[in-house]
Amino acid sequence: MESLKRSLKYQFRETKGFLLGFWGTVILVDILFYILNSLSSNRFIDFSSNGGSINFSIGFSLGNTGSSDPLSVVGVNFLIIAISMIVYNYKRNYERFPLALSLGMTRRDYFLSFLMDNIFMAFMMAGIQGLLLKIDPILMELVGKEALYEFVNFNLKTDNVLYIILTLFILFLIVISSFNLLASLNYKFGSKLWIVIVAFNILVTAFRINIFDKIFEWIGRITVTRFGLFEIVAILGSIALIYALNYFVTIKTNIKEKAI
Cα–Cα distance measured from residue 173 to residue 234, given in angstroms and rounded to the nearest whole number: 13
Sign of the four-CA dihedral 129, 132, 134, 136: negative
Q: Write the pLDDT tens digit of every residue in 69-119.
A: 788 899 889 999 999 999 888 888 888 888 777 777 888 888 888 899 899
| Mean pLDDT for the stretch of residues 155-183 | 91
pLDDT category at 52 given cuts 50, 70, 90 is very low
Residue 123, pLDDT score? 95
Sign of the four-CA dihedral 100, 103, 106, 107: positive
Domain limits, the chain? 2-44+70-251
Q: Write the pLDDT tens digit of every residue in 6-38.
A: 777 777 888 888 899 999 999 999 999 888 888
Contact 72, 150 (CB under 8 A): no
Residue 44, pLDDT score? 38
